[in-house]
Structure 1
Amino acid sequence: MRPASSEKSLAPVAPDESRTLSLEQESAESEVQYVKGARLHLIVVALAIAVYLTNIEVPIVTTSLVTITNDIGGFERSSWVVSVYLLGYVGFVIIFTKLSDIFGRKLFLLFSLVIFLIFSAACGAAQTMTQLIVFRAFQGIGAGAGFGMSTAIMTEIVPPTQYATLTAIISSVYCLSHVTGPLIGGAINNSTTWRWAFLLNVPGIVPALLLIYFCIPKGFPHQRLGKDEGLAGTAAGVWKKLNRENLKRVDFTGGFLLIAATLSLVAALEEAGGRFAWRSAYVIVLLCVSSVAWAAFVAWERWVTLQGGIKEPVFPWRFFTSRKWMGVLLTATFMGGPFIGAVFQLPQKFQVIYGTSPLGASTRLLPFIGMGAIGAVITSLVAKKGVPPVYLILFSACLQIVGFVLLGTNTDASKIHASQYGFQVMAGFGAGANSALTILMAPLSVEPRDRAVAMGAVSQFRIMGGALGLSIVHTARNSFLRSKLSAFLSGGEVKQLMDSATSLAQLDPRIRTEVTGIMLEGYNIQMKIFAGLAGIQVLGAFLMWQRKQIRA
């Protein structure tokens, strides 16, 4: 039987035709020729490299932040080095994966990784904090798009029965990047310049680009049908796709509204309580812009979906009306905050409070990150054995709550107690598990035609949750420290302490102990906030709950 053509699979869908089209898509999917043998293994290697390098940039840079700010200044803006990178993910993952539906997976994966390569080199050459932040934004765009495209392709190179195995592999690589990132970052800071935290991506990403170019088949994932969907990577193929009809299918308005909504929200939360007061015009205007943009985005996507025209919505309305899918998205969003936030804040706490070196801070983070990798692999394999993923998501969320609450009970600023590592194990296992389980659940919760966008959405909202979580805890800590430290320090001393953590050692010994205790309490507040975010994952699990549970 001849499978449905690409024109038919991408045609506008009226509400009463959705079931018919779904059956046609399943018929077409059944005849997809999956990649096998050595070519499959090489593609998985390429995707693993892309996932590893695009995600190692978070922990490797967080470990290097103190060294970076000591060199070029701007400690008070240091969180922007991480947050702006995450903003690149936030704004463009869904957009890139949707565009790849129209213009081809291979083209957009190559394009995104080239952006990542170029701006990694630019970050390594930055001379000021402003330059670094700007270059990191573009590096984040390439990284987020590359990560989203990698996970989208993951669902197309193997049949659904192998999703759990591939999810375990990719999730373990994701967690491995967070395990080795702090170690590499610490080693770089102890032995050479911090610039290698960015420059190492240049030679690292080249093998992935070559494997992707030569191993992903022409026309992927419809190579058996002889289509041009995946593009061959040639100039002729690119120009063939950039025609008026394909451009009409692009939801430019939806993409713009999504970018405006997410960036304005995170920018407001990042500055609130820091450079600007919560009641300042800057924060209020950005929050209002974000609220209006989100409302407009939802309304626009509903209109585009129900119109049934040629334009393909960035985020179809059927996503909003699916309870189980919204549960997946909610869990992914509020898993990002605790996982990414802990990777950022724990090493900083070890360096600021306990005076450890960057490498020492990295090794002390291993219980959290190492158990995250183990949790990702174990829960994926358990789900493959037939245990419904929603049960595992609920258990992992509860484990995070307990772990982060206990991490927020630390009152001894003189030494790190062994119990703190045990609490890291609990929180890390739960966070890593839900990182993998949301990736596994995404393609199983939507129709085949929506899998690429669903994978991109999970990646984007998880990183958005990370950016929002970082913004919230950073704001909470700064507000707490400013209010408490003003009783011991002058305005100038508080500003100096907020600008550079090294100034803590320069304080009068008579007040240094008390100031250190206050700073530790600030980090405890952050851990409790992470526990609250983990609690929202429980709500997400209940939204996914069904009489007949989804199984991998």
Structure 2
Amino acid sequence: MGIIIAGLLLAVLMGSMDNTIVATAMGTIVGELGGFDKLMWVTSAYMVAEMAGMPIFGKLSDMYGRKRFFIFGIIVFMIGSALCGTAETIVQLSIYRAIQGIGGGAVLPIAFTIMFDVVPADKRGKMGGLFGAVFGLSSLFGPLLGAYITDYINWSWIFYINLPLGLISFGLITLFYKESVEHSKQKIDYMGAFTLVAAIVCLMFALELGGKEYAWDSGMIIGLFLAFAVLIVGFVFIERSAQEPIITFGMFKNRLYSTSNMMALFSGAAFITASVYIPIFIQGVIGGSATNSGLILLPMMLGSVVTAAGGGSLLTKFKYRSIMIATLTLLVIGIALLTTLTPDSSRFILTIFMILIGLGIGASFSVLSNAAIHGFTARQRGSASSTLNFTRELGMTLGITVFGIIQSHIFTNKLAAKFSSGGEVPDGIDLGDPSQILTPATREHIPTQVLDQITEALSSSLVQTFAWAIIPAVIALLAALAMSKEKFDPATELEEYVAGH
């Protein structure tokens, strides 16, 4: 069993580290490839593909077995990683990231489900904490590794590093994982899968293109929103009548399950906003390198490791509800404190804020993963686990897209206000391309007076974006307060484990 767990942990490390390792390199990547206006697509393209695949692969793993789809996910993820390293434009990079996301949509949720299948129930709490800690560790080493590789090698290697991890995981799972649970072949819900993916794509294009390439009231944007509405309504109707739906809505009648998904959705939106925009604040406002922005995220990621591992260990002593209320309170406080940042803020103060946010999000990786499958049979756990991961990714995707729109709008307006009064802009300085202030080399060539005005506008836009991010953090906390009072029971879980094997 230990070898199988090692293979799963490597795959989780590979998939979960990908976003954090990219986050600290984004300033440099955009500085080289250009396309600051398409910055969010590098992250959101991955997330859209990943979250669209999660419930589909989760359901397929329940029907046909975990192993084949887990291996498929690893192969696709490695192909996407190899392609990302060759990207020459921001558009190419976004497309290749979407391929990565398809692989991630199979790897991450199925890894957790395999763990629940092979680990005895009395050890599942601690093992869930270990898997949650790997999420935290990926967040810890991802920024450092991404920053080091970007500064001293080349940013393309932040993608190539996934290849050896994927190959080792592939070998271990292929050779040593033997499925013991019987899976019956059933009808695949193709229409449900199609409408779900199409609805998500329409929504993301509407949010990304609105206010940029097309006006919000243009026929294109209105049409995309209408298509999303029609498709999502169609998806609900299809799922309610499907023999084997991709997402089983009946599961949401379980209060513990529904509140767990709600917390994953909104805490993910708040957390991703901090993860993406803190490095931009460091590089664009304070003027640090990619390494500095990676280091500044370390306290946040270390905090997430502590509560991810600690939350899993405390499952047998405290209710799911109690753990989540305590940690999400810290998340709300940490996000709220980010709104006090200024260009003169000290690194020490920012470190304290990051620690609080990390402590606030960590338990959601381990505690919610256990809470989501609580009370469900082995045959339902793949769907339950993948749906939880889907809602988390949905929250992160919508969060980075919506808050990206907010930040971009505020920043553009601030710049327009500062330079519309006739302020002289030196030749060669394009105020429509903020990537110029994300790399130290280009900052040196911008006159101090102009740089100060740009950084002040960027700082203000980021702080106001953090203020908006308080809303989903508070909603996540309210969901924790509404959570039912179940507690992880090793004896009951052990009975279900034996029955399933």
Confirm or deny a common fold (TM above 0.5). Answer: yes
Structure 2 counterpart of 1:475, from 402, 405, 408? 405
Q: Percent identity?
A: 28
Structure 2 counterpart of 1:515, from 454, 469, 472? 454
Three-state SS of the structure 1 residue aligned to 2:288 is: coil
CA distance in 2, matches of 1:455, 1:284: 34
**Unmatched 5+ residue regions in structure 1?**
1-39, 230-240, 305-310
CA distance in 2, matches of 1:514, 1:395: 40
CA distance in 1, matches of 2:488, 2:160: 43
2:347 is the counterpart of 1:409: no
With over 3 angstroms needed to count, the CA separation of the structure-2 counterparts of 1:396 and 1:271, relative to structure 1, is farther
Equivalent residue for 1:175? 136
CA distance in 2, matches of 1:261, 1:505: 45
Describe the superposition over 1:30-59 as per-residue Cα deviations: whole angstroms up to 9, x where unpaired.
Answer: xxxxxxxxxx10011000000001111101
CA distance in 2, matches of 1:329, 1:319: 11
Say if 1:75 and 1:501, in contact at 8 Å, map to a contact too. Answer: no
Describe the superposition over 1:401-427 as per-residue Cα deviations: whole angstroms up to 9, x where unpaired.
Answer: 11110111112x145342221111111
Say if 1:324 and 1:445, in contact at 8 Å, map to a contact too. Answer: no
Three-state SS of the structure 1 residue aligned to 2:418 is: coil
With over 3 angstroms needed to count, the CA separation of the structure-2 counterparts of 1:467 and 1:317, relative to structure 1, is closer
With over 3 angstroms needed to count, the CA separation of the structure-2 counterparts of 1:451 and 1:507, relative to structure 1, is same
2:455 is the counterpart of 1:494: no
Equivalent residue for 2:372? 442
CA distance in 2, matches of 1:160, 1:282: 51
Equivalent residue for 1:425? 355
Structure 1 counterpart of 2:86, from 101, 104, 125? 125
2:13 is the counterpart of 1:70: no
Name which of structure 1's ranges 514-523 and 266-275 shifts more when overlaid on structure 2.
266-275
Amino acid at match of 2:67: K
Per the TM alignment, residue 451 of structure 1 is displaced from its structure 2 partner at its CA by 0.8
Per the TM alignment, residue 514 of structure 1 is displaced from its structure 2 partner at its CA by 3.2
2:153 is the counterpart of 1:221: no
With over 3 angstroms needed to count, the CA separation of the structure-2 counterparts of 1:498 and 1:284, relative to structure 1, is farther
Describe the superposition over 1:178-217 as per-residue Cα deviations: whole angstroms up to 9, x where unpaired.
Answer: 1101111111111111110111111221111010001101
Say if 1:335 and 1:435, in contact at 8 Å, map to a contact too. Answer: no
Say if 1:327 and 1:542, in contact at 8 Å, map to a contact too. Answer: no
With over 3 angstroms needed to count, the CA separation of the structure-2 counterparts of 1:156 and 1:281, relative to structure 1, is same
Equivalent residue for 2:298? 366
Describe the superposition over 1:140-167 as per-residue Cα deviations: whole angstroms up to 9, x where unpaired.
Answer: 1101211111011111011332221111
CA distance in 2, matches of 1:67, 1:521: 22
CA distance in 2, matches of 1:355, 1:108: 44
Describe the superposition over 1:311-346 as per-residue Cα deviations: whole angstroms up to 9, x where unpaired.
Answer: 311111312333322111111111211222222111
Equivalent residue for 1:288? 226
Per the TM alignment, residue 70 of structure 1 is displaced from its structure 2 partner at its CA by 2.2
Per the TM alignment, residue 540 of structure 1 is displaced from its structure 2 partner at its CA by 2.0
With over 3 angstroms needed to count, the CA separation of the structure-2 counterparts of 1:372 and 1:164, relative to structure 1, is same
Aligned residues: 481
Structure 2 counterpart of 1:161, from 118, 122, 125? 122
Describe the superposition over 1:358-389 as per-residue Cα deviations: whole angstroms up to 9, x where unpaired.
Answer: 111111111111101111111211122x2001
Amino acid at match of 1:528: A
CA distance in 2, matches of 1:294, 1:186: 39
The correspondence of residues 355-394 of structure 1 with structure 2, limited to 5 A, is: 355-384=287-316, 386-394=317-325
2:264 is the counterpart of 1:332: yes
Equivalent residue for 2:274? 342
Structure 1 moving runs of 4+ over 6 Å: none
Name which of structure 1's ranges 357-366 and 259-268 shifts more when overlaid on structure 2.
259-268
**Unmatched 5+ residue regions in structure 2?**
491-501
Name which of structure 1's ranges 391-400 and 258-267 shifts more when overlaid on structure 2.
258-267
Amino acid at match of 1:457: T
Amino acid at match of 1:291: A
Amino acid at match of 1:395: A
CA distance in 1, matches of 2:221, 2:438: 26
Structure 1 counterpart of 2:472, from 533, 537, 552? 533
Say if 1:337 and 1:530, in contact at 8 Å, map to a contact too. Answer: yes
With over 3 angstroms needed to count, the CA separation of the structure-2 counterparts of 1:514 and 1:164, relative to structure 1, is same
Equivalent residue for 2:156? 195
Say if 1:119 and 1:135, in contact at 8 Å, map to a contact too. Answer: yes
Amino acid at match of 2:363: A
TM-score (normalised: structure 2):
0.91
What's the Cα RMSD here? 2.1
CA distance in 1, matches of 2:218, 2:357: 36
Say if 1:88 and 1:144, in contact at 8 Å, map to a contact too. Answer: yes
The correspondence of residues 273-284 of structure 1 with structure 2, limited to 5 A, is: 273-284=211-222
Equivalent residue for 1:267? 205
